[in-house]
Amino acid sequence: MQLLSLTLENFRSYERKTFRFGTNTTLLVGNNAMGKTNVLEAISLLATGRSFRAQKTEEMILFTKELARVTGKVEQLLPATDGDTGPSVELEVLLTRGELQGKRVAKRRYRIDEVPKRYSDYVGRLVVVVFRPEDLELILGSPSVRRAFLDVVLSQIDREYRRSLVSYEKALVRRNRLLDAIREEGTARTHLAFWDQLIIKHGQVLTQKRMAFVEAINRFDAEIDSFRVTYDSSVVSASRLLQYAEQEVAVGYTLVGPHKDDFQIVTSDKRQVTSRGRDLALYGSRGEQRLAVLWLKLAELSYVSQTIGERPVLLLDDILSELDHDHRALVLRILPHQQTIMTTTDLHLVGQTKGIEVVELHQSQKD
């Protein structure tokens, strides 16, 4: 899998800029605020349909502009042809502020070869694994950060998962509104039955696939300290919804289901102090936490590669400065195995740049 080119129009700091990428590693070098992370964010948006940092779509649109556009040409390897490349496709994400020329429009629209697509039919043509210093939040952040990680990974590689995720989230919103109406207005509880069936059906798909992913990455063996993931699943079923029925009406929202799931990264060696291992969020040093995130990302890269039958595009956002010499060397050794696009402020951290295309970013954000 390869990203051939990327064109940004009114995206973040870029008015119009085209990048072309080789088959191996591209290194984006520049001082802070030169737009390096913006490029990786755009690639991730092109792949996943989501930003890894923007809370609102408007944040990604250049100030004073109504619309931003991210376009990329992608070439996938066909497994049956042993390395021969298949026809390329053009992916496009359009971003708006919700209004264009006085008309209300969707804030995000997706197209493949200029044909409009729903989100669930768009994602999966370009698959990326992103590694950023902020990924430390996978250990220290809220459960919603960890659930979002699972959703992004699995939505890219499993169509059933992303369709169930979309359906589950829509059903959950409607069910919560109904629970609130039951509490505030005395609406009949019998109306819950339809939404109960939907969140059970789609929620169980999400839980099963998340747990299968966790089991797979726990089998991953890397050249770093041993870690594993412990998964806390909030199973949704008819009996559990019945069990929590009174409490849900009292609070006005759904209390069980995969939207309540969480996981922890724990040690998996002699240092563990309980049968679950030592929770690194509570008892890990900052160095251990960084290593655990590196382990998780390498496990993700391995899992995604095995699942789709080809290597995804690896995006590394200034992570070399976060690692010691040995683990920096480990990351550098995996670069040639897939197309990698990485950023740094310090070229010396990379060391030998043979076979690496170096692109220096300067103040101008226009071709």
Q: How many whole angstroms separate alpha carbon 364 and alpha carbon 53?
A: 23
Q: How many whole angstroms separate alpha carbon 266 and alpha carbon 276?
A: 7
Contact 239, 325 (CB under 8 A): no
Nearest C-alpha neighbor of 323 from the set 332, 312, 315: 332
- Is 309 annotated as ligand-binding? no
- Is 36 annotated as ligand-binding? yes
Contact 58, 97 (CB under 8 A): yes
**What Cα–Cα distance (Å) separates residue 113 from each residue in 51, 88, 188, 256?**
21, 9, 47, 40
- Is 10 annotated as ligand-binding? no
With 0-12 / 13-18 / 19 or more C-beta atoms within 10 angstroms meaning exposed / middle / buried, residue 233 is: middle
As a three-state string, the secondary structure of 107-131 is CEEEEECCEEECHHHHCCCCCEEEE
Contact 129, 243 (CB under 8 A): no
3-state secondary structure of 307: helix
- Is 86 annotated as ligand-binding? no
CA angle 264, 133, 348 (to 5 degrees): 140
Task: Please name the helix (run of DSSP H) or strand (run of DSSP E) that holds residue 173, with its range, or none.
Answer: helix 159-185
Contact 110, 36 (CB under 8 A): no
Question: For the chain, how big is the Rg over CA atoms in Å?
Answer: 22
Nearest C-alpha neighbor of 47 from the set 98, 149, 119: 119
Q: How many whole angstroms separate alpha carbon 24 and alpha carbon 98?
A: 38
- Is 35 annotated as ligand-binding? yes
- Is 38 annotated as ligand-binding? no
- Is 257 annotated as ligand-binding? no
- Is 34 annotated as ligand-binding? yes
Please identify which residue in the block is written with the tokens 């069990």.
243
- Extract the annotated binding site: 30-37
- Extract the annotated binding site for ATP: 30-37
